[in-house]
Structure 1
Amino acid sequence: MYKKFIITLLLCVTSSVTTVSAANKTASIGINTNEAMDLGTSIPFVDLFKLSLPFEEARPWLTKGKITYDANGWPKALNNGIAGTRFASHIPVKALPTGDYTVLYDGEGVLQYGVSAKLVSRSKGKDIIRLVPTKKGDISATISIVKSNPSNYLRNIKILMPGGVCHRNVFKRVNNANECGGKQYLSFAKYHKELTFNPDYLTFMKDFKVLRFMNMSGITRNLMSSWNERAKPEDATWAGVEGVRGVPLEIMVELANVLKSDAWFTLPHKADNYFIHKYAQYVHENLKPGLKAYVEYTNEAWNGIFPQAHYMKDKGQAMRLDPNRDYAGYKYYSKRSVEIFKIWEKIYGSTDRLVRVMGGMTGNLRLTKMMLNHQEAYLHTDALAIAPYFYASQPDTKRLRSVDAVFKILEDPNNPYSIKNVLSSVKNQAELAERYGVDLVAYEGGQHLVAYKTHTMTEGPNPYLIEANRDPRMAQLYFQFLRGWKQAGGKLFIAFSAPRQHSWFGSWGIKEYITQPAHEAPKYRALMHFSKLNRCWWKGCSNYGPIVRHGKPIQVAAQ
């Protein structure tokens, strides 16, 4: 009887999404997801523990002693030590629902809470806590295992949001059954296995056509190569340092299915063929048939700040693809991309629901030609993806001393990275893409105001850069930029990124936290307004239509 009810529940969840998220079918804007982190303000999951640091990363502040762990990262023996972690770090109060959070766990032991987390009550396998703002007015919270029975160790901790949802509406959190108007109330404490995602997160994400999972999958500086190294649903946490963290493929596919959004998967640079095969197989079997899968081999293979760029060069040189080390790397990226595309094509049995993506660089036409020409890779490619960002050079950025000056330089024709000049590069790339019979899309894009080598919010021009991102004029620039993108020949635009706090290393989030009102978020406002006025304009852009293949030239001369 219980299993029958759960199946019915899941069917109803699916049917409710169809109505709520219909707008993304013809949207022209996508969104980059964010990493799972304790300081992340997207708050994607009902279970906050999935955003916590791995216990060993919290050493020596919270984890002490010689702890031993099981295969999923749970401390199976404290050995007179303490295993602690942080599951929220400087989160704006408004980003999290108020009320009592339910902590569930298996095994025998004692949990201790710190900073904002205050114990309300305790029973077997269950604690109730409350998150109280710090003196700074934000939420930072820790949890520690201070006692654990080695023969039945404390594990499977869940920190579940207060409230739940009403039957057939996963997009709105309610506090209790009284708010459901006679419909069934599904509390997170009871139905957390079926209700993975924070309703506020789903409400934000539902308007985007494509979800790019590069950040969420945790591939940045990640050296995993084999399938058994991947993130798994049963892992204690999906967070951690760069190169370690990662949300499981199962969860990403589930999110795309719930939202009925196309899914953009970015594969690790060292992934072997078995990894690629299993990944493609899972997507093919589990992503809803009406949804497209974008397939991209690694992220920014040309960018020397990432290990994948050096990996490409090493492999390209070893294969003697070009005497020039950089060019050898570009050609290896092209070669390996096509190999990956072919694995996906074999699993899918066709290319009808696949978008095969090559990642280029906005201002580098030579790179585009080299990637698409190498062994006629353009014949196996559907989209050239670039990252059109507008900003100022570092010398100019350091000289900024007002918000007005920020906006002036972003529109200065003498600034090579001004909106006008970046759009000129976009036009060049669009014309080149058309010659090769591929679409031009943006895998990232927007403002890129960063003062490198600063380390605080108040240092140098940072106050002006941050304030510019909050200024209504930023909405005007974004709309102008997106309109220019369309006019220059660009198609799908994947914004960077889902909500995250502004900081000295960039103001990347189109909101600063998941529940921030639209009137406080100019970038978000502009993106939504543009998408509303400019429904997707390219052939075959409907979520449920087939991919429209462009005619490929018989031959494109290398230049």
Structure 2
Amino acid sequence: MKGYHVGRFKLGKRVLLANFGVMVVLIIAVALVWGQNAGQSGSDSEWIENLRKMQEEQQVETRKKEEIHEEQLFDVNSFEREQAVLAKIRRLGLDKKNEQGSIVTSGKLGMNLSAVSFWGTAWAWADILTTAKWTDDRGWRKGEMFVDTKGRFPAGEYVCTWEGMAEIRFGGDGTIVSYEPGRIVVNVVPRKGLTIWVRSQPNDGLKNLKLWMPGTEKQTSPFFPLFVERLKPFGTIRFMDWQLINNSELTSWQNRPTLENQNQEGRGVALENMLALVNELGSDAWFCMPAKADDDFVRQFALMVKERLHPDGKVYVEYSNEIWNGVFKQHTYVMNKAKNKAAKEGIKWDWLDEWAWEMKRIFSIWEDVFKDEPGRFIRVIASQEMNPWISEQLCTKIGKGNFDALATTAYFGNSHERGPIPKVSEAEILPRAKAMIRAGVMYLNEKRGPARVKHGQVAKEYSVAYLTYEGGQHFTPGGNTATSVVGMAQQLPEMYEAYLLNMKLLSQAGGQLFSAYYFCGPVTNFGAWGHISYQNEPLLDAPKYRAMLDFYDVKYPEPVLSMP
């Protein structure tokens, strides 16, 4: 606005000088008209009328020049877009409190969900068949659940229900305790996993086959209660992995995951269920549009969100995920599109141009769908944390007022070492874990913190919010780092302190939202991404989860009796 006021001041000076010139011309004109009328028989009213006309013409001409110059100084449409963005970001980060005044959901905290899998420990679904891996087994359909989870799943009575005719058996950790048509009760003692076999004929009319987790048979929510309860502190839920965005080949709406086929044959979760989750939580949603999605897919997606998202909810919109990351197919897709366009049209057009073009495409469709509620969706440029230059380029290409937020990761960790994962002695695990965290914190202070400051400055320059789309520890096994060392580090007090520092540096850089990656999952040879390793893990053993809530002063969803 400072530039605008300076422009107004300069404009005022020009208008003052122009009016002074008009007065001089009018004085001369008065003298001429008076001289011409002197000694003539005409009335004074005639020359006064001529003077008035001359003055009006001069004022009209002056105003035209003023409007032309004002238009050059000030783009009204651009100003309105920028003000709309500012109005949006002022409403970000709002907390929800209970009757006692404690924060129960933080608008400054977000959470990514892990992909649905048959070996997952998140227990997202009341109907656990939603996560099953189905295969053919000698004429039976075999469904496997909770495989390789080391018994980290609920014990108790599971209830299987269905309509029509079918033969149903259970194995693994499940034992049938009662059987009647359409309903089986299975007692589960968690050890190695649960298996179901189903056989029916086409004319048996089998449908609505469900396997309800303990205590959920009669509930209307599709989600397991503890999954929902432990997600409540997070005001924004990012669904990138539920959508299976990385390497996605999805192009058309007709091929999207539905309630009938979700999580099967490479499909992600149905949009209806993602919206059901944020509606139950009362949180905001963060969706990624598949890299190859056509315009109709994007429009139909936006229309369903607008129709079904709870009235207080906002939606963050991102094009694909990490286009800058050469690991993913979406990077190659955008690179090839850019090369083909440059060759075909004979223009200079690189991958950043194509990336920006794709973002503009999906943003414009969402803008059209939400044209009567523009404050409900946030257009996100998701850039690379350690390369602020990419942020500068993308923001310049998309333009001020045409997006609402710049997002990066907020990670800290070890270098990505290649090679086989080593084995270390029991005595080495703890000291190595502490040393690994110290090295990660040093790099966080020296490199990642300053990089975030630069991103924050870019966001400020473009008057948008600075957010994270992923964040947390990024320690991965390989090279000199053993999986056991990475696993030990997740439980240490030093990890808790490192998380507090990580979020502090983000906040100091102007970050308005910390989105952790991801909610729940075990330590594996690919990393330790879960902020709880299994759904009913005692929060005393989950320093990463507690650090996030403590930093933003959020009430724990359950009591924690003591702290380390």
Q: TM-score range by the shorter chain?
A: 0.7 to 0.9
Show the 5 A alignment for 1:388-537: 388-395=410-417, 402-412=429-439, 417-452=443-478, 461-532=482-553
State the match for 1:46 in structure 2: 126
| Mapping of residues 226-375 of structure 1, within 5 Å | 226-235=252-261, 238-240=262-264, 244-320=266-342, 328-349=350-371, 350-374=373-397
Within 1, Cα distance between the matches of 2:468 and 2:176?
A: 46
User: Residue 130 in 1 paired to residue 157 in 2?
Assistant: no
CA distance in 2, matches of 1:445, 1:295: 18
CA distance in 2, matches of 1:224, 1:92: 34
Match of 1:160 in 2: 212
Task: Please give the alpha-carbon distance, in whole angstroms, between the structure 2 residues aligned to 1:518 and 1:467.
Answer: 16
Check the 8 A contact 1:87/1:142 in 2, yes or no. Answer: yes
Change beyond 3 A, Cα 1:224–1:21: farther
Q: Which residue of 2 aligns with 1:383?
A: 405
Shift of 1:133: 2.7
Q: Deviations over 1:384-437 (max 9, x none)?
A: 11112111224599899544344435444996x434421111111111221122
**Residue 189 in structure 1 maps to residue 241 in structure 2:** no
Q: Distance in 1 between matches of 2:101 and 2:303?
A: 26
Rounded Cα–Cα distance in structure 2 between residues aligned with 1:268 and 1:480: 34
> 226, 237, 240: which one pairs with 1:211?
237
Q: Distance in 2 between matches of 1:324 and 1:216?
A: 39
Alignment partner of 2:381: what SS? strand
Deviations 1:42-77 (A, max 9, x none): 111110000111x3xx3xxxx136xxxxxxxxxxxx
In 2, distance between residues paired with 1:271 and 1:20? Answer: 46
Per the alignment, in what secondary structure is the counterpart of residue 514 of structure 1? coil
Please give the alpha-carbon distance, in whole angstroms, between the structure 2 residues aligned to 1:414 and 1:484: 11
Tell me which of 123, 139, 148 is aligned to 2:200: 148
Please state if 1:91 is matched with 2:143. no
Q: Which amino acid aligns with 1:291?
A: G
Distance 1:24 1:347, change over 3 A: farther
Q: Distance in 2 between matches of 1:340 and 1:196?
A: 30
User: Could you tell me which residue of structure 2 aligns to residue 118 of structure 1?
Assistant: 175
1:64 maps to which residue? 137
1:35 and 2:115 correspond: yes
TM-score by length of 2: 0.75
Per the TM alignment, residue 219 of structure 1 is displaced from its structure 2 partner at its CA by: 2.0
Distance 2:553 2:481 in 1: 38
- Secondary structure of residue in 2 paired with 1:276: helix
Q: Distance in 2 between matches of 1:324 and 1:484?
A: 45
Distance 2:244 2:517 in 1: 16
Amino acid at match of 1:150: P
SS of residue matched to 2:321: coil
When structure 1 is superposed on structure 2, of 85-94 and 348-357 the one drifting more is 85-94
Cα drift, residue 378 of structure 1: 4.0
In the TM superposition, residue 301 of structure 1 has moved relative to its aligned partner by 1.1
Could you give the per-residue CA deviations for residues 154-211 of structure 1, whole angstroms, max 9, x where no partner exists? 3331000222xxxxxxxxxxxxxxxxxxxxxxxx3234xx221111011101110100
Deviation of residue 327 (structure 1)?
A: 7.6
Of structures 1 and 2, the larger Rg is shown by: 2
Deviations 1:198-253 (A, max 9, x none): 11011101110100011112222221110011111122xx3357xx1311111111
**What is the RMSD of the two structures over their aligned residues, measured on CA atoms?**
2.9
**2:162 counterpart residue number:** 105
In structure 2, what residue type is equivalent to 1:88?
F
Question: Is this contact kept in 2: 1:510–1:523, CA < 8 A?
Answer: yes
Q: Where does the alignment leave 5 or more consecutive residues of structure 1 unmatched?
A: 1-16, 66-80, 164-187, 454-458, 535-559
Distance 1:465 1:360, change over 3 A: same
| CA distance, structure 2, for counterparts of residue 423 and residue 344 of structure 1 | 33
Q: Is the Cα–Cα contact under 8 Å of residues 316 and 322 in structure 1 kept in the other structure?
A: no
Cross-structure match for 2:3: none
Q: CA deviation at 1:105?
A: 1.5
Q: Is this contact kept in 2: 1:338–1:377, CA < 8 A?
A: no
Q: Give me the whole-angstrom Cα distance separating, in 2, the residues matched to 1:516 and 1:468.
A: 16
CA distance in 2, matches of 1:326, 1:32: 37
Paired letter, 1:373: T
CA distance, structure 2, for counterparts of residue 502 and residue 261 of structure 1: 28
Residue by residue, what CA displacement relative to the aligned partner does 1:453-500 show, whole Å, maximum 9, x if unpaired? 7xxxxx952211110111121001101111121112222010111111
CA distance in 2, matches of 1:448, 1:21: 34
Q: 1:225 aligns with which of 227, 246, 251?
A: 251
Using a 3 Å threshold, how does the CA distance of structure 1 residues 226 and 472 change in structure 2: closer, same or farther? same
Q: 2:228 aligns with which of 194, 197, 202?
A: 202
Question: What residue identity is the alignment partner of 1:355?
Answer: I
Could you tell me how far apart the structure 2 residues matched to 1:112 and 1:20 are? Answer: 50
Paired residue type of 2:137: K
Measured after TM superposition, the shift of residue 440 of structure 1 is 1.3
Q: Spell out, residue by residue over 1:296-341, the C-alpha distance to the aligned partner (whole angstroms, 9 max, x if none).
A: 1101111111111111111112222999999822221211111111
The number of aligned residues is 453
In structure 1, the residue corresponding to 2:466 is in which secondary structure? strand
% same residue? 28
Equivalent residues of 1:335, 1:377 under 8 A apart: no
Amino acid at match of 2:244: G
- Give 1:93 deviation, angstroms: 4.1
Alpha-carbon distance in structure 1 between the residues aligned to 2:304 and 2:101: 24
TM-score, normalised relative to structure 1:
0.75
Contact 1:317-1:323 at 8 Å conserved across structures: no
